[in-house]
Amino acid sequence: MADTMNIDCKSPANIADALAKTVCVAKTNASILKLIVLGILAGAYIGFGAAFATLVSSDLAKYVGVGLAKVLTGGVFSVGLMLVVIAGAELFTGNNLMLMSVLDKQVPFSKMLGKWTIVYIANFIGSVLLAWIMYKTELWKGGDFLTGIQALKIASAKVNLAFSPAFFRAICCNWLVCLAVWMAISSRNVIGKIFACFFPIMAFVALGFEHCIANMYFIPMGLFLKGTGAAAASGLNLTNLNLNGFLITNLIPVTLGNIIGGAGFVGCLYWAVYVRKNK
């Protein structure tokens, strides 16, 4: 049994050592062009998960109840991280684990920040691009604007969050996202990576946590729909659904919380436990 476990997955200590000394170092040293292309793809992949979740959540609660609807919505959203991890892309929130290489003195802090910035901007481009494409499909018009109304509800709720709840929800979110990435690295086969992504991502969506890259799809989609028939049919007060609500009210606290949750509660603590003691 012990031999089977060693073949099928890596130990936490092995993952921590690999991340600190090789995986995150390679990411930090990757070319700018590579990071831009893979970052745009990651933003789009997370956007696909967000679009799928919007569709599923548009009317599911009335059939299965609110709690189960949130669980199922989270389940379908996880396809986004599966695409990032298995198909290959660079996601800002997962790249928060690069702090482990900085703590291990493998790369300078300034270089990590530079690569974080590149990937963050590329993720933004990919997410907004997919939101625009989805808007142009006009699929949100179906069923008397059912999906469009749901997209507006999601976006409106996010831009009306106060700083504190947005920040703390974001901490919890990327804590789970980085654990999903951690477990996916642990697995040596595709099925294992799928399940590693599925459960933590399902949990963060079901619990209502905040992910900055997902919000780069959700809120722009709401902005695109603001002047359409979906907005009129929704009956929502969309006063705060604007660029200020997107970039300042939501994206700043959520990004900061995501960094603390991923870099702090996963990267920093696991480095301290499994890598630092070996010195």
Residue 276 — very low, low, confident or very high, per pLDDT cuts 50/70/90?
A: confident
pLDDT of 5 > 50? The answer is no
Q: What's the pTM? A: 0.94
For residue 44, give the nearest of 97, 76, 90 by alpha carbon.
90
Mean pLDDT score across all residues of the chain: 95
CB 271 within 8 A of CB 16: yes
The pLDDT, as a whole number, for residue 250 is: 98
- Assess if CATH 2.30.30.90 describes domain 31-278: no
The stretch 153-174 carries a mean pLDDT of 98
The 10s digit of each residue's pLDDT in 87-142 is 999 999 999 999 999 999 999 999 999 999 999 999 999 999 999 999 999 999 99
Ramachandran sector of residue 171 (left: φ over 0; alpha: ψ -120 to 50; beta: rest): alpha
CB 166 within 8 A of CB 210: yes
The pLDDT, as a whole number, for residue 4 is: 41
Q: What are the φ/ψ torsions at residue 206 (nearest 5 degrees)? A: -60, -35
The stretch 229-235 carries a mean pLDDT of 95
The type of residue at 16 is A
Ramachandran sector of residue 65 (left: φ over 0; alpha: ψ -120 to 50; beta: rest): left
The 10s digit of each residue's pLDDT in 61-102 is 999 999 999 999 999 999 999 999 999 999 999 999 999 999
CB 261 within 8 A of CB 173: yes
Residue 117, beta-bridge partner list: none
CA distance 92 to 115: 9
Q: Which two tokens stand for residue 108?
A: 């300078």
For residue 89, give the nearest of 136, 132, 49, 52 by alpha carbon.
49
What residues does each domain of the chain span?
Answer: 31-278
The 10s digit of each residue's pLDDT in 166-222 is 999 999 999 999 999 999 999 989 999 999 999 999 999 999 999 999 999 999 999
Max CA distance (Å), the chain? 62
CA distance 216 to 223: 11
The pLDDT, as a whole number, for residue 3 is: 39
Ramachandran sector of residue 11 (left: φ over 0; alpha: ψ -120 to 50; beta: rest): beta
Cα Rg for the chain, rounded, in angstroms? 19
Residues, the chain:
279
